Amino acid sequence: MIRDCTIIKELPQGGQKIVHLAEHSKVGKVVIKEGTIKSFTSLERIKREVELLSELESDFYPKQHHFNIDVKTKKFEIVEDYIEGKVLREVMTEFKTTKEIFTLFNSLIKGLSVIWDKNIVHRDLKPENIIIRPNGMPCIIDLGIARFLDLESLTKTISPMGPCTPIYAAPEQLANNKNLIDPRTDFFSLGIIVLELYLGVHPYDPACVGNQFSIVENIMQNKYVVETDTKKRDGVIVELANKTLQTQPYERFRNYKMLNAFIAKQI
Amino acid sequence: MKVYHQTGFRYKWNIESFLNGVGNGLIYSPINIDADKLLALDVKLKHSGFLDPQLYLLYEAKGTLDTYPYFPGNIKPDFATPDLDNSHIQLAQLCVDYQVQNNFEYLIIPSRYYTDNPTTFFSQSTDYFVTPFCDYIRNKNIQKKILLSVIVKTIMLSDEEKRNEVLNWITGHQNIEGVYLILENNFTSKQIKDFDYLLNALKFIKVLKDNQMEVHLGYSNTEALLYSIAMPDSVTIGSYENLRSFGIKRFQDMEKSQMRAPNARLYSSYLLQWVDYEYIQAMKKLMPDYANYFDDSEYRPLMFTPEFKWHFAKSEPYKHYFYVFDRQIKSLPSTQEGRIEELKCKIKNALTLFKKIENEVLLDENSDGSHLPTWFNVINAFQKELTK
C-alpha cells in the first residue's frame, strides 16, 4: 500500500517511529508510521494496537489501512487515516466555559467507552493524544501502551514505573501497581485534562500548588489545585476532581456509567 | 433494606418462618441441604434469595456439600489447588448452571477461605472465580444480577493497605452488581464491643455503597441494626450462633471435636440484646413487669408459661427472633439520618431499661447490653465521618 502513497511531508516523530503525511490514490490523506522493533514486548504492543484499531469501527479512533512487519530487517510499517484537525494541546484555550469542557469530556467518554467495553485501558490520555476534528469531535490516538486486561501484561513487574506519560498518569501507573490498572486509571488522566482545560494550567503544577515538588511528586501526594489566582473554583469541576483524582481507584467513579450519569447532570 | 434468612442446620425453621411472612428470602447452605432436595423446593422459596456456594474450603466435603455438581471432588477425585488451573472454567459452569436451574434471585461468585490470605489471593480469585463466572454468565446471556462473595478479615478493616487492596479489588469488577459481604468474626464475646472494628466495618460498607454497589451482609447478628446506618441492601437473620457470626469451623469436619451446648437465649428489641434464659427466669421471680422487657409474638405466650423447658434446640426462641428482628429492621427509617437518630434513641432507651433490670437482677457481660455504649459512640463517630 505504501507504494501507492505519495509522501507530502514528515510529521513530528512519535516515540521510535518515523511518521509521514502522505496521499493515497484511493484512501486520500494517510499517515505512514515506520520503525524498528526493539524487543518482543514492543512487537507485541504494536501488534495489539494494530489489531485493535483494525477492528474498531469508530470515528473516535483513526482507521487502520495497512500493517506489515519485515522479519529480516525487524522493521514495521503502519498506514492509518490522517485525522484532520488540531491536537487538543493547541486548542485548549478554545474550551472556555464549563459547558464546553463537559461537552468535550462527554464525547471523550463516549469514545473511550468503545475500548473500555473491550476491557482495554488507554493508559496514555493527554492533550497530545486527542485530535479535535473540524466538527469539534475528538479523535483518540496512540494506543501504543494500552493495557489489554484480558491478555497477559507486557509490563515488567520490577520496573519502578509502568508505561505512561508521567504528568498525566494515575498513581497506580507511577507506582507500577499493575493489578490496579483498569478504566479508573483513564478516569484519573481525564480528570487532569478537564481541570487543565478549566484552569489553563496543569492542576498539579508546583507553581500553582505552592510547593517545591514536581508534578509527578504532587500526583503521588494527591496535591492539586481546583482554582488559581485568575480562575475561581467551580462546584461541578471540584466534584469531578473529587471523583477522578483520588489516589485510590475505589474513591473514583467505579465505571463510565457513573461518570456518564454525572456528566448528564451537567450538560 | 431486605432481611434474608441465613439458613443452616434446621433450615426448616427458616422456611416455616418465611412462609409465615418473616423475611424477604432465604440464603441456602449446601452443607445443610442436599442438592436435589434444594432443586425440588418450591420456586417461591427460591426466587427471592440465593445460594451461598460454600467453596470456602475446596477439599472439605462437609455435610451434603458433595451432592452439589460443582463440588471440586465431583469434578476430579482428590482435587487439589493446582487442579483449579484446568478445572476453574468447568467449576464456574457447573456452579452457575446449578444456580440458574434453581432460578435464584442472584448469581453468586464463590470465595475461598484462608486463615491468612496469600499475597496472590485476589489475583487468583479473579482468575479462578470472577473471570470464568462472569464470562460464562455473559456468554450464556443470563440476565441475573451477580454478587461477589467476599470474606472481610479483621485485618482488612484495621490495616489501611489491606483495606485499600480489597476495596480496589471489589470495586474493580465491572460486571458485578454487588457483594455478598461476610465480616469474619473472631471475637470471643457474643456481641462485638470493639469500637474500631465496628466503625471500620461501617466505613467499609459505605465505600461500597458510594460505588453504587449492592451490599448484602451475610451472617449478621444484632449488629445488623448498627450496620444499617451505612445503608446496606440487606442483612440476615439466623438461628444458631454460627449463622449469626462467620467462622470457618462451620465448614470443617469436626466430628471428633467436642461441642458445648449453649444456653438458650431470647432476643429483645427493646434491650437490643439476646438475654440468657436463666436471667429471664430470675426476672420473672423478681420483676412483676418482666414480660414488658420482651417483644410480643405468637411464640411468647408459650415461652413464658411455667412449663416451657428452655433449650437451645427448641425452635420458639429463634422463630421469635426472626419475627421480632425482621420487624425491627423493617421499621427503621429509610433515610440514613433518620436511622442514625432512631438508633441512638433506641440505644438510650435500652440503657435505661438495663438500669432498671439491674436494680433487681444482675446480668453477665453477654446479656447486659454492655455493647450498647460502644454502638452509641460508633454511631457518633460515623456521623462525624459523614459530614467530612
Give average pLDDT by consecutive 10-residue segment, chain B, 388 residues.
Answer: 96 97 98 96 95 91 92 86 88 97 97 91 94 96 97 96 97 96 91 96 98 98 98 97 90 70 92 96 95 95 89 93 98 98 98 97 96 98 93
pLDDT digit string, tens, across residues A69-82: 888 888 888 899 99
| CATH number assigned to the domain with residue range A2-81, chosen from the 4 options 3.30.200.20, 3.40.50.10300, 3.30.300.130, 2.40.50.140 | 3.30.200.20
Chain B partners within 8 Å of A222 (Cβ) = none
Question: What percentage of chain A reaches a pLDDT higher than 70?
Answer: 97
ipTM surpasses cut 0.85:
yes
What whole-number distance in Å separates Cα of residue A220 and Cα of residue A160? 13
Q: Tell me if chain B has a CB within 8 Å of the CB of A254.
A: yes
User: In this complex, which of A182, A183, A254 lies closest to B211 when CB atoms are compared?
Assistant: A254
Estimate to the nearest angstrom the gap between the alpha carbon of A239 and the chain centroid: 22
pLDDT at B155: 95
Name the residue range of residue B30's domain. Answer: 2-251
pLDDT over threshold 70, residue A14: no
Q: What is the pLDDT of residues B183-202, one digit of tens each?
A: 998 888 899 999 999 999 99
Distance of CA A92 to the CA centre of its chain: 15
Per-residue model confidence (pLDDT) at position A72 = 85
Q: Is A137 touching B (CB cutoff 8 A)? A: no
**A36 pLDDT more than 90:** no
Indicate the CATH number of A86-266 among 3.40.50.2020, 1.10.510.10, 1.10.287.130, 1.20.1260.10.
1.10.510.10
Give phi and psi for A153, each to the nearest 5.
-65, 140
Chain B contact probe: residue of A187, A244, A250, A260 with most B CBs at under 10 A: A250
Query: Average pLDDT of chain A?
Result: 91
Residues B236 and B363 both lie in one domain: no
Specify if B260 maps to a domain. no
Q: Is B107 on the interface with A (CB under 8 A)?
A: no
Classify residue A151 as exposed, middle or buried by CB count within 10 Å of its CB (0-12, 13-18, 19+): exposed
Closest Cα in chain B to A259 = B211
Q: Which of A:179-218 have CB within 8 Å of B?
A: 179-180, 182-184
Residue B238 DSSP symbol: -
Compare CB distances from A248 to B122, B164, B170 and report the shortest one's residue.
Answer: B164
Phi, psi of B114 (to 5 degrees): -130, 145
B149 contacts B180 by C-beta, under 8 angstroms: yes
Residues pairing with A140 in the sheet: A130
- Angstrom distances, CA of residue B36 to CA of B66, B159, B356: 11, 42, 52
Inter-chain touch A250–B170, beta carbons under 8 Å: yes
**How many Å lie between the alpha carbon of B336 and the closest alpha carbon of chain A?**
20
CB contact under 8 A, A250 and B207: yes
* CA max distance for chain B: 67
Q: Are residues B122 and B31 in the same domain?
A: yes
Q: Note whether B247 and B270 are same-domain residues.
A: no
